[in-house]
Amino acid sequence: MKQANPLGIVHDIGKLNLEGNVIPHNWFCHLKYKNGKPHTNAAIILSEIVYWYRPTLIKDEVTGRVIEERKKFKADKLQRSYDSFATQFGFTKRQAKDAIKFLGGIGVIGLEFRHITLADGSKLANVLFIEPIIEKLNHITFERNTSDIITPDPLQSNGIPDTVYRHTNTDTTTEITTEITTEGAAKKTPPATAKKIQFTFDERSRRGPIERSGALAAIPRPGPGSLQGVDQPVPRQPGGQAGYIRPGC
């Protein structure tokens, strides 16, 4: 029985001879928009430019040694247009132009516009030639962008924050709640005098419609010097108790 390869699909992918452009992961840390997001269009176009500048190696048939390096383009620099990049990668011309200008603005490529003459004698103006700047290309390829590095908390060795128990004084028992409620209710109990005054005000408020109806003369008025709407105390009689007389009653 044939034993299955433990690597599975990984082993099969390793047999593929993959060719094409290479985009180092570090480029996405350096090629960014102003809002901090990776400029993917610029990374794709830069990988195409770098591909064209990668040399073609010529080997000796006998020894197998590399005897010559050749460039892939005819002129001294790579000649490409915005439309050619847009057609190849499915961009709009504006997207391709913005990406190339971005790469030129950060100094990773050099842009040169030339007037050229074709073999048939016709002339073209503002033909774009592109050349990578090796110093800047090395910087974005091999140097890490320290602004994207997140420094871990030294107190968290495994990346999981420790749960800290914090004691609070918000625990309330039934006994405490009952005591507070009873004491508060006792403080809110109004005195007897306050009840009688409130009753007098309510009694007079019921006379409002009578006064507004024109029967003001039918309501007895309190005597001079007395307070309207307030019970008047009766002087204490010998052997008796003080009382209250409501005015108008």
Nearest alpha-carbon partner for 56 in 46, 66, 45, 48: 66
Task: In whole angstroms, give the CA distance from residue 66 to residue 7.
Answer: 35
CATH classification of the domain holding 114: 1.10.10.10
- Is residue 98 assigned to a domain? yes
Sheet holding 109-117, edge to edge: 78-79, 123-132, 109-117
The answer to whether residue 249 scores a pLDDT higher than 60 is no
Task: In whole angstroms, give the CA distance from residue 109 to residue 102.
Answer: 9
Which tops the pLDDT comparison, 224 or 85? 85
Nearest alpha-carbon partner for 110 in 82, 68, 78: 78
Judgement on whether residues 55 and 138 belong to the same structural domain of the protein: yes
The amino acid at residue 102 is F
Judgement on whether residues 82 and 28 belong to the same structural domain of the protein: yes
Judgement on whether residues 28 and 139 belong to the same structural domain of the protein: yes
Question: What is the chain's alpha carbon radius of gyration, rounded to the nearest angstrom?
Answer: 48
DSSP label at residue 16: -
DSSP label at residue 77: S
- Is residue 234 assigned to a domain? no
- Is residue 62 assigned to a domain? yes
Q: What integer pLDDT is reported at residue 92 of this predicted model? A: 97
Judgement on whether residues 137 and 203 belong to the same structural domain of the protein: no
The answer to whether residue 244 scores a pLDDT higher than 90 is no
Judgement on whether residues 122 and 205 belong to the same structural domain of the protein: no
pTM: 0.57
Domain tally for the chain?
2
Judgement on whether residues 113 and 201 belong to the same structural domain of the protein: no
The answer to whether residue 73 scores a pLDDT higher than 90 is yes
Judgement on whether residues 209 and 118 belong to the same structural domain of the protein: no
Structure tokens at 146: 């320290």
- Is residue 37 assigned to a domain? yes
Judgement on whether residues 92 and 24 belong to the same structural domain of the protein: yes
Domain range for 66: 19-145
